[in-house]
Amino acid sequence: MDRALKDKIEEFKSYRIDKPPLEIIEHYRKELQAIQDTMEIVQGRWKMPIIALLCNGEFRYSELEKGIPKITPRMLSKELKDLEINELVKRKVYDTIPVKVTYKLTDYGYTLVPLIIELTKWGKQHREYLMKEKRREHNKG
């Protein structure tokens, strides 16, 4: 674990030393609410992959569908609509024949980039950790 992460963990834990449980709960209430608010918006299997793909620019619906394996058209439509309602994604309709529709992140949507980077790092580390554990268990048996 790198030093910066250790420092963040210690800072997070520092408040709870020698404090009664109710005081700890009260202190973290706003932080917990912020986490719940965030999860309400980005939870689910598909929203973060959609946002991550849109970090790379503007995409048509069909391109998003191809770029996100296993997502159904119905789910992609639903998730894009939710992201649009939360002002993370902008839908643009072009006055052409046939009609062209594209999706891109809003400036506000780009504020999720640091979170995506950290989730990606953690996901890679977690997968590596699980693979090491699996190999370790396999070698024992």
pTM (two decimals): 0.76
State the average pLDDT over residues 116-129: 92
Q: What is the pLDDT of residue 15?
A: 60
State the average pLDDT over residues 9-38: 77
H helices within the chain, ranges in order?
3-14, 21-42, 47-54, 61-67, 73-85, 113-140
When pLDDT is cut at 50, 70 and 90, the band that residue 60 belongs to is: very high
pLDDT at 11 over 80: no
State the average pLDDT over residues 104-119: 95
Is the CB of residue 89 less than 8 Å from the CB of residue 105? yes
**In terms of Cα–Cα distance, which of 48, 46, 64 is closest to 103?**
64
State the average pLDDT over residues 43-47: 92
Domains of the chain, residue spans = 1-43
